[in-house]
Amino acid sequence: MPSPSSIEDREAHWVEWATGCVSALLVLSMIGFIFFEAVTDGHKPPDLGIVITSRNPVAGGYRVTFDIANRSTATAAGVVVRGEILNGGNPLETTDVTFDYVPAESKSTGVILFSQDPGDRGIRIRATAYTDP
Amino acid sequence: MESRIGREAPEGSRKFLVGIGRGAAGALLFGLPMLMTMELWQLGFYMERSRLLLLVLVNIPLLIALAHRVGFEKTYTLAQACRDAAIAYGLGIVMSALILVLLGDIKTSMPMSEIIGKISIQAVAASIGALLGRSQLADHTGSGGDQDDDGGKGEDAVRDRMSGNYGHELFLMAVGALFLNLNIAPTEEIILISYKMTAWHALFAIVASIAIMHAFVYAVAFKGTHQMSAAAPRWHVLVRFTLPGYVVAMAVSFFVLWLFGRLDGKAVSQMVMSSIVLSFPGAIGAAAARLIL
């Protein structure tokens, strides 16, 4: 059923052209950005780095907060992070936490809860495993 | 219900009750997919409250504008549109609450914050559904038709509302995109898909979204199909309507993903990727809204 005067038939208002041009520019620049990413993507595996941001005793244990950053352009899934209290190089207590995803070039935050205060013993937190999404 | 749909003398209160019934049916029809999604229940308690507040507030002007367009009754004044929007929002809240209780997702032992959170998220989509239900389930054979402003018969009224109509088209596209996005954005699949896709996939997804959007409105002859002018080249319509529509769908996708905390801590490239994934259904929703509403 062609309607006698659809909105497309009318003389275009200049606002319509302005909106259209800005939109075209936005879409094209987005395509350009992604195209650049596609071309420069080196297919590097996920590169995970962990930084402890805070550690403090809590009721019934000890809390260590950390950031896990992925510097690569590939996302890691099911990332297992293991926290250990070290006693002269040997783990005294071990706790695991799993991140569903650590997205490419992004950062996630996690917490490990130990049952004891490590005191002046060392703490080691490292990623032990991940899968491809 | 069938007997009520038939043409009848407009007796005020009965007609209004039928409208309420259709609204409730619309809230159910459009709200159930969300009401039965686990991620949305969880969002009810962990979603950041400032963002939830924003969502709940943004819904108000949106409903009023939409009510002005489709209406519980045929609305022409702002006051009537506000009344209809309020009824739709109210229906959305009541229906969401009832269904969540029915599904055992709301229990009296839960904290108030969780109960209200769960209902308020669901009420947004359900209230849009209530308005659409009133419009789409209604009988269009009655006099006056369905306020289709394309049928303005070339009188000067059309000319006066020219730029208003254009804004209207963009608004409808935003509503269509928002509606589909609200259903899909909370699921984990959106981010999972964006992680699985490479940049090349994303490029094709953009082109496909725009192509489908354009084809949906201009090639496939659904009800209310927009006609391309014979005089102007085809790319005119692409630039004036489809591309702005895609940008609107993209913006709505970005907004909804941000609302649900799906963009937190992510790099710009990952934000763009997730938005492109969500814009795919969003663009189809936007195109559909132009045709249906």
Which of B113-122, B133-142, B190-199, B278-287 has the lowest average pLDDT? Answer: B133-142
A7 Cβ under 8 Å from any chain B Cβ? yes
What's residue A76's pLDDT? Answer: 92
A19 CB-contact burial (10 Å; exposed 0-12 / middle 13-18 / buried 19+): buried
Q: What is the pLDDT of residues A16-61, one digit of tens each?
A: 888 888 989 999 999 998 888 888 877 788 999 999 999 899 988 8
Question: Per-residue pLDDT for B75 more than 70?
Answer: no
Q: pLDDT averaged over chain B?
A: 82
Which whole number is the average pLDDT over B196-208? Answer: 93
User: Do B230 and A9 touch, CB atoms closer than 8 A?
Assistant: no
Asked whether the beta carbons of residue B199 and residue A35 sit closer than 8 angstroms, the reply is yes
User: Do A115 and A83 touch, CB atoms closer than 8 A?
Assistant: no
Same domain flag for B193 and B265: yes
- Beta-carbon contacts of residue B120 (< 8 Å; ≥ 6 apart): B44, B52, B55, B56, B93
Interface of A with B in 17-46 (CB under 8 A): 17, 19-24, 26-27, 30-31, 33-35, 37-38, 41
Same domain flag for B88 and B198: no
Asked whether the beta carbons of residue A7 and residue B165 sit closer than 8 angstroms, the reply is yes
At A94, is the pLDDT very low, low, confident or very high (cuts 50, 70, 90)?
very high
Domain boundary among the residues B122, B139, B156 is at B139
- Give the range of the structural domain holding residue B36, as residue numbers without chain letter: 1-139
Which whole number is the average pLDDT over A99-125? Answer: 89
Same domain flag for B101 and B231: no
Same domain flag for B104 and B182: no
Question: Per-residue pLDDT for B28 more than 80?
Answer: yes
At B236, is the pLDDT very low, low, confident or very high (cuts 50, 70, 90)?
confident
Whole-complex ipTM: 0.74
**A17: nearest CA partner in chain B:** B240
Per-residue DSSP letters for A73-130? SS-EEEEEEEEEEEETTEEEEEEEEEEEEE-TT-EEEEEEEESS--TTSEEEEEEEEE
In a domain, B154, yes or no: no
Residues in B closer than 8 angstroms to A37, CB to CB, are 199, 269
Of B210, B229, B243, the CB nearest to A9: B229
Asked whether the beta carbons of residue A41 and residue B162 sit closer than 8 angstroms, the reply is no
What's residue A1's pLDDT? Answer: 37
Same domain flag for B232 and B281: yes
Q: What is the pLDDT of residues B164-183, one digit of tens each?
A: 588 888 998 999 999 899 98
Same domain flag for B293 and B204: yes
Asked whether the beta carbons of residue A41 and residue B199 sit closer than 8 angstroms, the reply is yes
Same domain flag for B84 and B214: no
What's chain B's Rg over C-alpha atoms?
Answer: 20
At B151, is the pLDDT very low, low, confident or very high (cuts 50, 70, 90)?
very low
Q: The tokens of B192 are what? A: 């999972």
C-alpha to C-alpha distance for B125 and B138, rounded to whole angstroms: 19
HSE at residue A120, side-chain half, CA atoms within 13 A, is 0
Asked whether the beta carbons of residue A16 and residue B240 sit closer than 8 angstroms, the reply is yes
In a domain, B31, yes or no: yes
Same domain flag for B43 and B2: yes
In a domain, B144, yes or no: no
In a domain, B269, yes or no: yes
B266 Cβ under 8 Å from any chain A Cβ? yes
Same domain flag for B131 and B170: no
Q: What is the pLDDT of residues B86-141, one digit of tens each?
A: 999 999 999 999 999 999 999 888 889 999 999 999 999 999 999 888 776 665 44
In a domain, B279, yes or no: yes
Residue of B42, B194, B195 to mutate, interface with A, max A Cβ within 10 Å: B195
Task: Tell me the shortest Cα–Cα distance from B202 to chain A, in angstroms.
Answer: 8
Q: Which residue has the higher pLDDT, A2 or B134?
A: B134
Same domain flag for B60 and B12: yes
Question: Per-residue pLDDT for A79 more than 70?
Answer: yes
Q: Number of folded domains in chain B? A: 2
Per-residue DSSP letters for chain B? -HHHHS-----HHHHHHHHHHHHHHHHHHHHHHHHT-HHHHHHHHHS-HHHHHHHHHHHHHHHHHHHHHH-SS---SHHHHHHHHHHHHHHHHHHHHHHHHHTT---TTS-HHHHHHHHHHHHHHHHHHHHHHHHHSS---STTTT--GGG-TT-HHHHHTHHHHHHHHHHHHHHHHHHHHHHHTTSHHHHHHHHH--HHHHHHHHHHHHHHHHHHHHTS--TTPPPPPSSS-HHHHIIIIIHHHHHHHHHHHHHHHHHTTSSTT--HHHHHHHHHHHHHHHHHHHHHHHHH-
Of B162, B188, B265, the CB nearest to A10: B162
**A2: nearest CA partner in chain B:** B227
Same domain flag for B204 and B121: no
Domain boundary among the residues B139, B156, B174 is at B139
Asked whether the beta carbons of residue A38 and residue B203 sit closer than 8 angstroms, the reply is yes
- Beta-carbon contacts of residue B255 (< 8 Å; ≥ 6 apart): none
Same domain flag for B238 and B201: yes
What's residue B267's pLDDT? Answer: 87
Task: Tell me the shortest Cα–Cα distance from B96 to chain A, in angstroms.
Answer: 30
In a domain, B229, yes or no: yes
Asked whether the beta carbons of residue A75 and residue B206 sit closer than 8 angstroms, the reply is no
Task: Tell me the shortest Cα–Cα distance from A119 to chain B, in angstroms.
Answer: 31
In a domain, B153, yes or no: no
Domain boundary among the residues B85, B105, B139 is at B139
What's residue A65's pLDDT? Answer: 94
Long-range contacts of B166-172 (CB under 8 A, 24+ apart): B166/A7, B166/A13, B166/A15, B166/A16, B166/A19, B168/B69, B169/A7, B169/B241, B169/B245, B169/B290, B170/A19, B170/B244, B170/B245, B170/B248, B171/B65, B172/B69, B172/B286, B172/B289, B172/B290, B172/B293
Question: Per-residue pLDDT for B147 more than 80?
Answer: no
In a domain, B158, yes or no: no
Of B166, B241, B247, the CB nearest to A27: B247
Asked whether the beta carbons of residue A104 and residue B206 sit closer than 8 angstroms, the reply is no
